[in-house]
Amino acid sequence: MTELPISPPLARALAERDYTELTPVQSGVLGPQALDRDLLVSAQTGSGKTVAYGLGLANTLLGDEERIAPAGDPMALIIAPTRELALQVQRELAWLYAQTGARVVACVGGMDPRRERRMLDEGAHIVVGTPGRLRDHIERNALNPYSLKAVVLDEADEMLDLGFRDDLEFILNTTPENRRTLLFSATLPSGIVTLAKRFQTNAFRIEASRGERGGHIDIEYRAIRVVPNEVEHAVVNVLRQVESPSAIVFCNTRNAVRHLQSILVERGFSAVFLSGELGQHERNMALQALRDGRARICVATDVAARGIDLPNLGLVIHAELPNDAEILQHRSGRTGRAGRKGISVLIVPPARNRRAETLLANAGIRAQWSGPPTADEIRKLDGERLLQDPLITDEPSEEDRQMAETLLAHKSAEDIAAAFARVLRGRLPEPEEVTMPSMGREARGPRDRDRDRDRDGGRGDERPARSLAGMAWFRLDAGRDNNADPKWILPMLCRRGKVTRQDIGAIRIFDDVTEFEVAEALAEEFAVNVRRANAEDIYIEPMTEAPGQRGPAGPARKFAGKPSGKSFGKGEGRPFKDAKPFKDARPAREGKPFKAEAKPFGADDDRPPRKRPPQRPTGKAERGGFKHRKGR
């Protein structure tokens, strides 16, 4: 690190923080080719980019001096997508530039703008803020951008995704043309490339991500298969299995965040939640509880968790799968930072197997697949951890020894040890009993599942036909001729098979039959449940052959155990009338087909003719063939 051109006061600040080796992105911005140039840097979350551009700006702001000039108009502007990230950047640059006398001011939404204007009036060397608040200060002449020597766009791809393009262009257009522009982004989509071409000059490109494929090298990825309705139990057991000072659990919606956080609190965890509905004060309180140890777990949505840097965050749980691979990496990047190891766990119910595999493949990540941690495994871990508890390993005081002698005089050592173990167990949330899913083909990979499918397809047994996505095919003896519709088929399947909507896959409706998928882990149980209900008007059976790809006029399929002559349409709450009998149960017509007697349109012998209702006043009057509004 000493060979690189680091300003002496910044080098001393790094030494105080025990920085012994720079990350690739930090080394890249200090290279001779990057000196005093515009930079276009591709760096993933957790790669140390905040310190990187802090080091890269030192020569522009300080030159050869160790102390910076008195504060006036800002010399550098850092733009970040979220309040949390901007405040984190402000804290990082404050300690990095502490020995230079630099004044770092944050301007973010949700804070008092009058207080920020007073701080700007007092002078600042570096201003860190969110796009909307910075633009507001510029428009109100509280922030003077005309003396800026450098502008940094941190996580530029996120800012474009959040819709800040107009604000960014406004801010950059007000800054001097001879400024340095440092653009940092985890990915380089077309919008970032366009922005760089417009506002950068001869930018030096730095590829400092941790590899295009393979994900974060300091993060261990795990994918845990769970049966339906046990996602929350799996989250509880993972939190109990992995001992991490702090953890974050991701959900996709605000309601899911509130629900899961309340469940964890009921189980005995110290948990807070972050979502867009919280005000800035509430968000600050939640984050402070995580930083000072009063809370261990944060349940959050993707947007609310952007920019969060929690100390000693060793575990990320995806209670609900993200929408794409980029979000998966952004979520997981909350852990494994600054050289520390982390664990990212995906909770995968059967209906999400294919989606999980696609996410991992697109991100270039190889995850370890397994079932959820069981209660017995966690209790065994508790016994092992008990021996490492500080209450046992720390040297007892004289007062502790006197108390121990008093206890031994009245109780046996076994009774005292049992009481001690009971006290320690009482501090821990109780693990959940979980159902181990069938050891499916997901853990063995797609090629193995293809071989299994081919092998099963050649058998003549009664097992359901499998599909590539860990699903099994079933057939229902109703189709378009019986007004079959997914609106009532799906609830009926869930009710009879005792499964959830997420466990049902594709539904294909033909003329006389309907074929549908059920999660393979539940296929046997589903077949047993529907077999008990087959005495009713609908017959369901597993398909032993591969599903057909026939069109609407395809051939009829025969059912192995279909009762003959059954009518269809009773007792399921379906919105149709006069359901037709099945084709194979219809009697043949004799003679000429029935021909209805011709009647005038609208005639009905059983009901009197309908009277036209009186016309409601419209507030308009007709004059001379033209319509005019009254009162005009």
Q: How wide is the angle at C-alpha 380 spanned by C-alphas 374 and 264, nearest 5°?
A: 50
Please tell me whether residues 262 and 141 are part of one structural domain.
no
C-alpha triplet 80, 313, 325: angle, nearest 5°:
60
CB atoms within 10 A of CB 223: 24
456 and 350: one domain? no
Tokens of 172: 């950059």
Q: Which comes out higher in pLDDT, residue 426 or 476?
A: 476
Domain identity same for 15 and 65: yes
In a domain, 2, yes or no: no
Tokens of 173: 């257009």
Amino acid at 112: D
pLDDT of 571: 42
Continuous segment of H or E residues that includes residue 239: helix 231-241
* Residues 226, 358 within the same domain: yes
Distance CA(156)–CA(182), nearest Å, equals 10
Residue 382 in domain = no
CA 516 from centre of chain? 28
pLDDT at 448 over 70: no
> Could you tell me the pTM of the whole model?
0.55
pLDDT in tens, 86-137: 988 999 999 999 999 999 999 998 788 999 999 999 999 999 999 999 999 9
What's the CA gap between 355 and 114, in Å, rounded?
A: 48
* Residue 226 pLDDT greater than 60, yes or no: yes
CATH (domain of 364): 3.40.50.300
Q: How far is CA 323 from the centre of its chain?
A: 7
Considering the domain architecture, whether residues 259 and 195 belong to the same structural domain is answered as: no
The answer to whether residues 111 and 233 belong to one domain is: no
Give the distance from CA 241 to its chain's centroid. Answer: 21
Look at residue 165 and tell me whether its pLDDT is greater than 70.
yes
Structure confidence at residue 383 as a pLDDT band (50, 70, 90): confident
Amino acid at 448: D
Instruction: Map residue 476 onto helix, strand or coil.
Output: strand
pLDDT digits (tens, 9 = 90+) for 255-304: 899 999 999 998 889 999 988 778 778 888 888 888 888 899 999 988 76
Distance between CA atoms of 170 and 515, rounded to whole angstroms? 56
Distance of CA 245 to the CA centre of its chain: 21
* 237 and 194 in a common domain: no
Considering the domain architecture, whether residues 91 and 34 belong to the same structural domain is answered as yes
Largest CA distance in the chain: 114
* DSSP letters for 258-280: HHHHHHHHHTT--EEEE-TTS-H
Instruction: Dig out the tokens for 388 from the structure.
Output: 């490492």
What is the extent of the structural domain holding 560? 446-584
Q: Is the pLDDT of residue 147 over 60?
A: yes
How many helices (DSSP H) and strands (DSSP E) are in the chain?
22, 20
Q: How many domains does the chain have?
A: 3
Q: Please say which residue of 374, 409, 432 terminates a domain.
A: 374
Task: Confirm whether 433 is domain-assigned.
Answer: no
Give the span between the Cα atoms of 99 and 6, in whole angstroms.
Answer: 14
Q: Are residues 194 and 255 in the same domain?
A: no
**Per-residue model confidence (pLDDT) at position 336:** 77
Where is pLDDT greater, at 395 or 248?
248
Same-domain check for residues 104 and 231: no
Q: Are residues 183 and 60 part of one domain?
A: yes
Give which of 337, 345, 343 is closest to 244, Cα–Cα. Answer: 343
